[in-house]
């Protein structure tokens, strides 16, 4: 193991102090002089034709400064891959909550009053809500009849195909390896199941907010809750018909993300159009209900899974069909979701014969967004429970069947890519050891039945999502300034980058300064998503550091009369490893450069994983979506189920994650604990219910995430670390944080199945569902447990 | 009708001229520019807006400005003294109880109200006290650790002072 000075130590978060004092400013805390406030009028119909809109009354209300409708919306449409939506509806509304008109006024109260005065006549149209009905060859309703005429972005490795026989499908993503029919014929046992995971809220504590401020010469400045400031800047400029040079976007730290802030363009555009019309800055802060309704939920997902194995538990064939219910618009990254979900379904096992089909399907439900884990939660909910069913049918130990099939370093995954940095086996061993897997679950007596469960998981690290640019600025007092555009969403990327910089310059954390650049200042990254920031921004940071060090060493070598290759830096002092007396401070070096008491040195680098050989190979073969880089996980659970009430108590719950080189162990723990929390929510609590296109539980009373009382005591939870260093990662690290929830819900449900012999396939597993499943059994299985 | 109100916030009398039906949260954030208390659910379900009113934790989104007259209001901005963090703030920092930070001010204020009343709570008592404060980032593990560690630190320093 390499000895590090800062990497691997749990230094305090660099943004922690401002957060505990309340000094940290989020977008929702921002204001500017002369600010107007916006409110949006939204469709009450899931599908309707707009016959007329009359804004005359609203316009007469004192304090109203601008009103916009679909007529004011630009021709250019919004959409990550499939451009399918106007900033405000034109002619047709496709979900309850779609923006139809918006008002900017002196106060939010006046804007809300004005909204009520706008008259809209609708002609309701038939609507479709169920994903499998919508996915029919001849559905009763087609949500986007003109979809074939929409602009679809095609990237070399991410072809978006519209299927012929499914008019509501936006995308069909297939994968085939081997011969599944032959595989199933050879299998000793075949299992088939249907699993579902419903929508839930992102539940980020900060609601999406934007301020748009018009400037002279058509320029526009935004402050916005976004995880992708530069992509949004370019997108918004395109739709507004502006040069990307005319839009500035500042993204303060986010009050939670989880995917929510990958799709802020609709609000940005509404605010921008109002600001332009009113010639004044406009703030649009979504209410909780609006935040949930428009790109505010996970995609509803139905997974059909068929698996075949030989008697010894070797997986022979796997067939998976997925319907992703995304609602009325794809702009929340639906196509990308389906592309990346394939990476998740490739999974953690060797599967010689594999057929996977993912269908992204439109309905008239509110549009879903690109949600935490990009489909991996839904994928592993199905796959890891199916592994337990196979083990049960074959009479095999559930850890053993996983050991037999687990992917190892250098083996080909079902997508055909060579697996690298594979820590999933280590995760399985550590998690199962922690739960004392070989020991039976502790029995509590009475109506309680106990059981243990395991599950594995992976989450693709989207590390080749475009080039990433980072600059390093050296100050004369040896402060190292990192200039980057990663959005701090809470995951600790600022601390991670600071630790990498401190390590690379062999200095202390207090000498590192981080600057999150605005979208005009240079420092591109596509966005902070897909757990790629550590890998991409981290690698770019190291390359930029080496760029500026090279400049410094060359100048120092000339002055000191030594070889540049012999130079090193420690605590701001550059010296020769051969002759440590030959040294120069950074301020001394500034004089060499001719700055004399002022000045700066700059290094800059572009990092792109697409340059790597394995990614090029994978692209050429057309087999993998991106790279084969993953964070890996294993969860272990012990639960007690009350067979009279259906109640579940979590006795123990632990997770082990593989993040390559651990950069900050205690920060990693927090990500692991968050995974447990989200897993508990997924397994038992969280569901956004939609009735006839209307979200009936948008608020935090009717929908809830786990509270401190829903989680087990601290002594009953564990965060474990496994490390399979990633050779192309920054000092061996790789992104992992997004995926920590992936194995948790299936591990919990596997434990319930072990306890009482029933398996509820539809998350969340409520008391009522458990009681209903128990009632259908003859009781013998319960007695056996 | 707007009215002149005097609120006592972090020990200072602050005069404002507002509709008395505005929430305390709005007044703190928009009139007094104390943005530490956060708006999130705005129906009293998430606790991001928690402040202390007369020594008790209160959700400022559910309190009207007029109701807060004559009360002692403490917000997160009132905890650190002369640049020295309150032991709870220090403990949240030391125990990695902060991620996105949006729930943190409310979480710390709820914890302060608990420790003021019960300086030596059990883990269950901490969890019960924080049940109205939601966090989407941490799973509460490090937050509970931080409150328990702060409780211990505060008692230790009390002991020091007593000696």
pLDDT (tens digit per residue) in B37-54: 999 999 999 999 999 999
pLDDT tens by residue, A352-403: 999 999 999 999 999 998 899 999 999 999 999 999 999 999 999 999 999 9
Contact present, A381 and A746 (Cβ < 8 Å) = yes
pLDDT for A173 equals 87
pLDDT for A520 equals 85
pLDDT for A19 equals 98
pLDDT of A499 higher than 80: yes
* DSSP element (H, E) containing A638: strand A630-642
* DSSP element (H, E) containing B39: none
pLDDT for A80 equals 80
| Nearest CA among A415, A404, A397, A401 for reference residue A458 | A415
Q: Do B102 and A206 touch (CB under 8 A)?
A: yes
Contact present, A297 and A172 (Cβ < 8 Å) = no
pLDDT tens by residue, A413-463: 888 888 999 999 999 999 999 999 999 998 999 999 999 999 999 999 887
Q: Do B139 and A704 touch (CB under 8 A)?
A: no
Q: What is the ipTM of this complex?
A: 0.98
Q: Do A704 and B45 touch (CB under 8 A)?
A: yes
Q: Which residue has the higher pLDDT, A530 or A104?
A: A104
Tell me, yes or no, if B48 comes closer than 8 A to chain A by beta carbon: yes
pTM above 0.90? yes
Which residues of B are less than 8 Å from A253 in CB distance?
100-101
Which residues of A are less than 8 Å from B75 in CB distance?
22
Contact present, A747 and A384 (Cβ < 8 Å) = yes
Spatial separation of the C-alpha atoms in residues A59 and A55, rounded to whole Å: 6
- Band (pLDDT 50/70/90 cuts) for residue A1 is low
Tell me what the mean pLDDT of segment A118-128 comes to: 98
* DSSP element (H, E) containing A746: helix A744-756
pLDDT for A370 equals 86
Closest Cα of chain B to A737: distance in Å? 11
- Band (pLDDT 50/70/90 cuts) for residue A617 is low
pLDDT for A132 equals 96
Q: In what order do the strands lie in the sheet with A48-54?
A: A92-93, A48-54, A119-124
pLDDT for A616 equals 67
| Nearest CA among A283, A328, A169, A303 for reference residue A762 | A303
A336-340, A427-431, A434-438, A657-661: the lowest-pLDDT one:
A336-340
pLDDT for B158 equals 82
Mutate to test the interface with B, among A22, A496, A671 (most CBs of B within 10 A): A22
Q: Do B100 and A205 touch (CB under 8 A)?
A: yes
Between CA B70 and CA B74, with CA B73 as vertex, the angle to 5 degrees is 160
pLDDT of A785 higher than 60: no
Tell me what the mean pLDDT of segment B130-149 comes to: 98
pLDDT of A524 higher than 80: yes
Q: Tokens 């940290």 correspond to what residue?
A: A24
- Band (pLDDT 50/70/90 cuts) for residue A158 is low
pLDDT of A669 higher than 80: yes
Q: Is A138 exposed, middle or buried (0-12, 13-18, 19+ CB in 10 A)?
A: exposed
| Nearest CA among A4, A27, A8, A62 for reference residue A668 | A8
pLDDT tens by residue, B65-109: 999 998 999 999 999 999 999 999 999 999 999 999 999 999 999
Tell me the pLDDT of chain A averaged across its residues.
Answer: 94
pLDDT for A782 equals 40
- Band (pLDDT 50/70/90 cuts) for residue A581 is very high
| Nearest CA among A205, A249, A257, A267 for reference residue A227 | A257
pLDDT of A573 higher than 60: yes
From the CB of residue B81, how many other CB atoms can be counted at a distance below 10 Å?
Answer: 8
Q: In what order do the strands lie in the sheet with B50-53?
A: B12-18, B3-9, B72-74, B50-53, B56-59
Q: Which residue has the higher pLDDT, A417 or B134?
A: B134
Tell me what the mean pLDDT of segment A180-188 comes to: 98
Q: Which residues contact A204 (CB under 8 A, 6 or more apart)?
A: A254, A255, A256, A257, A258, A260, A261, B100, B102, B136
Spatial separation of the C-alpha atoms in residues A273 and A28, rounded to whole Å: 20
Tell me what the mean pLDDT of segment A280-294 comes to: 96
pLDDT for A154 equals 76
- Contacting B residues, span 55-94, partner chain A, CB-CB under 8 Å: 75-77, 79-80, 85, 89-90, 92-94
Backbone angles phi, psi at A355, to 5 degrees: -135, 120
Q: Do B137 and A674 touch (CB under 8 A)?
A: yes
pLDDT of A200 higher than 50: yes
Spatial separation of the C-alpha atoms in residues A584 and A755, rounded to whole Å: 68
- Band (pLDDT 50/70/90 cuts) for residue A620 is low
Tell me, yes or no, if B18 comes closer than 8 A to chain A by beta carbon: no
Spatial separation of the C-alpha atoms in residues A739 and A534, rounded to whole Å: 14
Tell me what the mean pLDDT of segment A289-313 comes to: 96
Backbone angles phi, psi at B22, to 5 degrees: -65, 150
| Nearest CA among A57, A80, A81 for reference residue A67 | A57
pLDDT for A621 equals 58
Q: Chain B residue closest to A203 (CA)?
A: B136
- Band (pLDDT 50/70/90 cuts) for residue A330 is confident
Spatial separation of the C-alpha atoms in residues A177 and A350, rounded to whole Å: 11
Tell me what the mean pLDDT of segment A585-608 comes to: 94
Tell me the pLDDT of chain B averaged across its residues.
Answer: 96
pLDDT of A615 higher than 50: yes
pLDDT for A331 equals 72
- Look up residue A659 and give its two tokens: 């993040």
Contact present, A68 and A79 (Cβ < 8 Å) = no
Tell me, yes or no, if B40 comes closer than 8 A to chain A by beta carbon: yes
pLDDT of A633 higher than 60: yes
pLDDT for A781 equals 40
pLDDT for A543 equals 97
Task: Estimate to the nearest angstrom the gap between the alpha carbon of A214 and the chain centroid.
Answer: 31
SS3 A545: helix
Q: Do B96 and A675 touch (CB under 8 A)?
A: no
User: If you count residue pairs, one on A and one on B, with CB atoms under 8 Å apart, how many are there?
Assistant: 178
pLDDT of A514 higher than 80: yes
Q: Is A327 exposed, middle or buried (0-12, 13-18, 19+ CB in 10 A)?
A: buried
pLDDT of A625 higher than 70: no
Closest Cα of chain B to A31: distance in Å? 9
SS3 A266: helix
Q: Chain B residue closest to A665 (CA)?
A: B96
HEC profile of A562-617: CCHHHEEEECCEEEECCCCCCEEEHHHHHHHCCCCCCCCEEEEEEECHHHCHHHHH
Q: Is A324 exposed, middle or buried (0-12, 13-18, 19+ CB in 10 A)?
A: buried
Task: Estimate to the nearest angstrom the gap between the alpha carbon of A341 and the chain centroid.
Answer: 11
Mutate to test the interface with B, among A19, A287, A683 (most CBs of B within 10 A): A19
Which residues of A are less than 8 Å from B134 in CB distance?
203, 205, 700, 704-705, 707
Strand ranges inside chain B, DSSP E: 3-9, 12-18, 50-53, 56-59, 72-74
Q: Do A674 and B99 touch (CB under 8 A)?
A: yes
Q: Which residues contact A675 (CB under 8 A, 6 or more apart)?
A: A633, A635, A655, A657, A739, A740, A741, A742, A744, B139
pLDDT of A780 higher than 50: no
- The alpha helices in A294-353, defined as continuous H runs, are 334-346
pLDDT of B163 higher than 80: no
Q: Tokens 């050989």 correspond to what residue?
A: A613
SS3 A652: strand
pLDDT of A622 higher than 60: no
Q: Around B63, how many Cα atoms within 13 Å sit in the side-chain half-sphere?
A: 24
SS3 A298: coil
SS3 A118: coil
- Band (pLDDT 50/70/90 cuts) for residue A157 is low
Q: Chain A residue closest to B37 (CA)?
A: A22
Share of chain A above pLDDT 70, in %: 96
Q: Residue B29 has what DSSP assignment?
A: I
Closest Cα of chain A to B62: distance in Å? 14
- Band (pLDDT 50/70/90 cuts) for residue B120 is very high
Q: Which of A10, A29, A673 sits opposite B139 (nearest CB)?
A: A673
Strand ranges inside A11-93, DSSP E: 36-42, 48-54, 64-69, 82-83, 92-93
Angle between helices A533-560 and A493-504 (to 10 degrees): 30
Tell me, yes or no, if B138 comes closer than 8 A to chain A by beta carbon: yes
pLDDT of A545 higher than 70: yes
Spatial separation of the C-alpha atoms in residues A675 and A737, rounded to whole Å: 9
Backbone angles phi, psi at A291, to 5 degrees: -60, -40
pLDDT for A784 equals 34
Share of chain A above pLDDT 90, in %: 84
- Band (pLDDT 50/70/90 cuts) for residue B20 is confident
pLDDT for A6 equals 98
Contact present, A385 and A303 (Cβ < 8 Å) = no
In this structure, chain A runs to a length of: 785
């Amino acid at each position: 193991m390499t000895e590090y000075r800062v990497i691997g130590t749990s230094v305090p978060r660099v943004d922690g102090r401002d957060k505990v004092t309340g000094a940290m400013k989020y977008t929702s805390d921002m204001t500017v002089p002369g600010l107007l406030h916006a409110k949006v009028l939204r469709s009450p119909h899931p599908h309707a034709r707009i016959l007329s809109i009359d804004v005359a009354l609203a316009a007469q209300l004192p304090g109203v400064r601008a009103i916009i409708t679909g007529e004011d919306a630009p021709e250019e449409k919004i959409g990550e891959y499939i451009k399918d939506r106007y900033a405000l509806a034109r002619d047709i509304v496709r979900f309850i909550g779609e923006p139809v008109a918006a008002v900017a006024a002196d106060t939010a109260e006046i804007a809300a009053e004005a909204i009520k005065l706008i008259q809209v006549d609708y002609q309701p149209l038939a609507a479709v809500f169920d994903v499998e009905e919508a996915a029919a060859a001849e559905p009763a309703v087609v949500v986007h009849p003109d979809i074939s005429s929409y602009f679809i972005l095609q990237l070399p490795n991410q072809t978006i195909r519209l299927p012929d026989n499914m008019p509501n499908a936006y995308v069909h993503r297939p994968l085939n390896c081997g011969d599944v029919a032959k595989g199933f014929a050879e299998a000793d046992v075949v299992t088939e199941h249907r699993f579902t995971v419903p929508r839930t809220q992102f539940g980020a504590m900060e609601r999406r907010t934007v301020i748009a401020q018009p400037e002279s010469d058509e320029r526009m400045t935004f402050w916005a809750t976004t995880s992708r400031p530069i992509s949004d800047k370019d997108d918004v400029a395109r739709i507004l018909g502006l040069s990307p040079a005319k839009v500035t976007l500042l993204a303060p730290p986010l009050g939670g993300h989880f995917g929510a802030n990958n799709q802020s363009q609709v609000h940005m555009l509404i605010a921008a159009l109002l600001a332009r019309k009113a010639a004044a800055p406009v703030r649009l802060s979504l209410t909780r209900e609006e935040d949930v309704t428009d790109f505010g939920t996970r995609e509803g997902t139905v997974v059909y899974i068929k698996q075949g194995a030989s008697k010894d538990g070797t997986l022979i064939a796997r067939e998976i069909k997925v319907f992703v219910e995304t609602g009325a618009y794809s702009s929340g990254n639906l196509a990308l979701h389906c592309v990346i979900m394939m990476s998740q379904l490739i999974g953690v096992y060797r599967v010689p014969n594999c057929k996977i089909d993912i269908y992204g399907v439109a309905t008239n439900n509110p549009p879903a967004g690109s949600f935490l884990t990009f489909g991996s939660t839904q994928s592993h909910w199905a796959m890891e429970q199916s592994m337990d069913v196979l083990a049960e049918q074959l009479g095999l130990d559930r850890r053993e069947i996983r050991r037999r099939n687990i992917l190892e370093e250098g083996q080909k995954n079902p997508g055909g890519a060579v697996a690298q940095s594979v820590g999933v086996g280590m995760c399985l061993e550590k998690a199962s050891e922690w739960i004392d897997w070989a020991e039976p679950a502790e029995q509590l007596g009475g109506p309680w039945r106990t059981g243990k469960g395991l599950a594995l998981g992976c989450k693709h690290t989207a590390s080749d999502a475009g080039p990433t640019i980072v600059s390093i600025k050296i100050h004369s007092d040896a402060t190292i300034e990192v200039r980057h555009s990663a959005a701090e969403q809470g995951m600790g990327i600022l601390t991670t980058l600071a630790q990498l910089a401190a390590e690379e310059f062999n200095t202390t954390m207090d000498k590192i300064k981080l600057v999150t650049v605005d979208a005009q200042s240079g420092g591109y990254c596509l966005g902070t998503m897909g757990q790629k920031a550590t890998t991409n921004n981290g690698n770019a940071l190291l390359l930029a550091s080496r760029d500026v060090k090279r400049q410094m060493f060359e100048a120092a070598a000339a002055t000191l009369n030594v070889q540049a290759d012999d130079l090193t830096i420690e605590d701001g002092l550059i010296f020769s490893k051969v002759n440590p007396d030959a040294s120069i401070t950074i301020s001394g070096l500034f004089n060499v450069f001719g700055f004399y008491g002022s000045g700066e040195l700059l290094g800059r680098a572009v990092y792109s994983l697409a340059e790597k050989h394995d990614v090029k190979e994978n692209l050429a073969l057309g087999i993998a979506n991106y790279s084969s880089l993953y964070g890996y996980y294993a969860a272990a659970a012990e639960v007690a189920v009350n067979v009279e009430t259906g109640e579940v108590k979590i006795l123990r719950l632990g997770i082990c994650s593989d993040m390559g080189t651990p950069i900050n162990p205690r920060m990693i723990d927090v990500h692991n604990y968050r995974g447990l929390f989200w897993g508990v929510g997924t397994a038992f609590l969280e569901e956004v219910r939609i009735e006839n296109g209307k979200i009936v539980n948008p608020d935090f009373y009717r929908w809830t995430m786990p509270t401190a009382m829903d989680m087990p005591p601290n002594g009953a939870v564990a965060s474990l670390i496994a490390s399979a260093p990633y050779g192309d990662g920054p000092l061996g690290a790789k992104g992992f944080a997004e995926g920590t929830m992936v194995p948790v819900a299936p591990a919990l449900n596997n434990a319930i199945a072990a306890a009482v012999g029933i398996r509820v396939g539809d998350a969340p597993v409520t008391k009522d569902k458990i009681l209903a499943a128990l009632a259908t059994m003859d009781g013998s299985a319960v007695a056996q447990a | 009708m707007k009215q002149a109100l005097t609120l006592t916030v972090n020990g200072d009398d602050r005069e404002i001229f507002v509709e008395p039906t505005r929430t305390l949260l709005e007044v703190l954030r928009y009139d007094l520019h104390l943005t530490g208390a956060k708006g999130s659910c705005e129906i009293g379900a998430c606790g991001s807006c928690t402040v202390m009113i007369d020594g008790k934790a209160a959700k400022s989104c559910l309190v009207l400005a007029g109701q807060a007259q004559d009360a002692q209001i403490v917000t997160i901005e009132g905890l650190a003294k002369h640049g020295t963090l309150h032991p709870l703030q220090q403990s949240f920092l030391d125990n990695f109880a902060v991620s996105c930070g949006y729930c943190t001010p409310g979480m710390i204020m709820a914890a302060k109200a608990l420790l003021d009343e019960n300086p030596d709570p059990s883990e269950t008592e901490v969890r019960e006290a924080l049940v109205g404060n939601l966090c989407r980032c941490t799973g509460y593990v490090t937050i509970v650790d931080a409150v328990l560690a702060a409780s211990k630190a505060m008692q230790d320093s009390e002991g020091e002072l007593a000696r």
